[in-house]
Structure 1
Amino acid sequence: MKFESKGLINIEIDGDIYDYKLYESLESLSKTKSQRKSAKELNISHTVFNRRILKAEDKLGFKISKKVGNGTVLTQEGLDLLNEFRKYVIQIEKTADVNIVGGHISTGLLESIELPFNANIYSSSDEDAFELARRGAVDILTLDDPLIAFERDLNFIPIAYDYLVLISSPNSKNIESISDLTGLDFVNVNGSAQRLAWNSLQHYDIDYNIKKTVNSQFDAFKLVKNSENLHTFLNASYFKGNELLKFDTRHVISLVKVNEDKSEVDELIRYLATEGQTHIENQGFQPME
């Protein structure tokens, strides 16, 4: 599939133009999980909203939304399309606001804190976020896992600590020791700090199986909770679980200053290192020592 930017936030996909209306619809649906709520938010009828999605799906040749219970969510293809729109928005928009892009956990933290200035916060994988930062399209890069910074010798600024907890299917056996993990089936999350868990299991000579890979910790959580005998490791700041590998998987949530010319960048860093630490702790993260 070929993507090409056209205009402000229109993009061309395999010769067809998709404009900002589809982008707005996908952006809204990703948050509301409801076509009716999104239609109301965009001040259009539910019929118009539904037709917009169906028309796009017909042109694209694949589903971008799906029914889940009483709501509607984006498919993985829909999320990928939304992320392409977001990339173009970040690169094209020139505003006084600070553009922040990063991993799902770190951007979720910043979204939950009232920052001392206006900021546009975009969530993606660490790898995609780094690519946007490399192009100079963002002001601040946030990282769920400092591995990218270490590998590229970047100066990163720690703002919090987090660790991973073990999440298991409801009917799974009780796990009391690391040896109990032998032979278990796991869900992997791309671009997350899970590498610390896998490295730890390898260090303890634990044989394990990766049964499925997803792109979101929330997708992994739902998959495990709705399956039998599946397990995963997720961030303790967002999920409650077994702290078996707490000390093995402790890691920093960090920022990388990309734009040196905006005073708000330094202001954010100062704020998060001082009074912002209280807000960080209130969100379930461990403050810097």
Structure 2
Amino acid sequence: MKLQSKGLISLDINGNIYDYKLYQSLDSLSRTKSQRKSAKELNISHTVFNRRLLRAEDKLGFKITQKAGNGTILTREGLQLLEEFQKYLIKIERTSNINIAGGHISSGLLETIKHPFNTNVYSSSDRDAFELAKRGAVDILTLDDPLIAYERDIDFTPIAYDYLVLISSPNSKEIRNINDLNNLDFVNVTGTAQRLAWSTLKQYGIDYNIKYKVSSQFDAFKLVRNSENLNCFLNASYFKGNEVLKFDTRHVISLIKVSEDKPEVDEFIDYLLAEGQEEIKNQGFEPI
């Protein structure tokens, strides 16, 4: 897929021009998981919203959305397309707003909570967001997993705690303790705090098999729920599941201050660590 910037708010993808409306649609759908809710959010009809997606898929030659229960989510290709839009916008949108990029869980948290600041939040993997931060394209880097900071001895600021829950296929055997996880098949979500689950299983001598690898927790959830005898570990802040590894997988949701020339960045971080803790709790995370 060849991508080129075209004008202020469009992308040239394989010779076809996609404007800001498609970006808005993908961005909204990534949050609402519902075409009807997104259409309402964008103040257009559901028919117009659906037609916009179908036309884009017809030009692209691949699916950018897929059904998930009673809702709609972005496919891996749809998420990649959204991230390309977001990276492009970061490059052109050097405003007084606080630009934030980070992992899907941490950036989703900062996008959802109420606060008095003007922010632009861009969601990707921890490592992709880190590359943007290294180029100075963002003011704050958020991390679903502090591994990147640990590896490079970078100071980070914890803003919440989260842990992993076990999601299993329907009709799977009941998991009562860690020994029940022996010889089970799992889905691995790359670049997430799942590493804590795998290291815990190894520590306890539990044999496990990684049957699939995906890049999205929502893709993992769908795969598990539509399969037999399949399991995965996902963030408790977004999913309800078995807490068998709750204490072994507890970890911080954190951020790294990148920009040094915006006083509002410090004010935003101070807010998150004070008044914002109640909002963070309301979103299903454990406050600091």
Same fold? TM cut 0.5: yes
Aligned equivalent of 2:53: 53
Aligned equivalent of 1:214: 214
Aligned equivalent of 1:176: 176
Aligned equivalent of 2:80: 80
Q: For residues 12 and 110 of structure 1, do their structure 2 counterparts lie closer, same or farther at Cα, with a shift above 3 Å needed? A: same
Aligned equivalent of 2:185: 185
SS at match of 1:234: strand
Shift of 1:287: 2.3
Q: For residues 253 and 72 of structure 1, do their structure 2 counterparts lie closer, same or farther at Cα, with a shift above 3 Å needed? A: closer
Deviations 1:106-139 (A, max 9, x none): 1222233212311122221111111221221111
Give structure 1 stretches of 5+ with no counterpart.
none
Letter in 1 for 2:62: F
Deviates more, 1:43-52 or 1:164-173: 43-52
Deviates more, 1:259-268 or 1:52-61: 52-61
Aligned equivalent of 2:275: 275
1: distance between equivalents of 2:43 and 2:275? 39
Q: For the Cα contact (< 8 Å) 2:76–2:216, is it kept in 1?
A: no
Deviations 1:71-109 (A, max 9, x none): 544322122111111111122112221111111211222
Aligned equivalent of 2:117: 117
Letter in 1 for 2:164: L
Deviations 1:13-62 (A, max 9, x none): 23333222322332334344455554555455555544443433333222
2: distance between equivalents of 1:109 and 1:68? 21
Q: For residues 34 and 217 of structure 1, do their structure 2 counterparts lie closer, same or farther at Cα, with a shift above 3 Å needed? A: closer
1: distance between equivalents of 2:65 and 2:246? 36
Give structure 2 stretches of 5+ with no counterpart.
none
Letter in 2 for 1:209: N
SS at match of 1:227: coil
Letter in 2 for 1:55: R
| Aligned residue runs from structure 1 range 247-286, under 5 A | 247-286=247-286
State, as a whole percentage, how many aligned pairs show the same letter.
75
Aligned equivalent of 2:105: 105
1: distance between equivalents of 2:39 and 2:271? 37
Aligned equivalent of 1:133: 133
Deviates more, 1:179-188 or 1:167-176: 167-176
SS at match of 1:219: helix
Shift of 1:148: 0.8
How many matched pairs? 288
Letter in 2 for 1:25: S
Alignment RMSD (CA, Å): 2.3
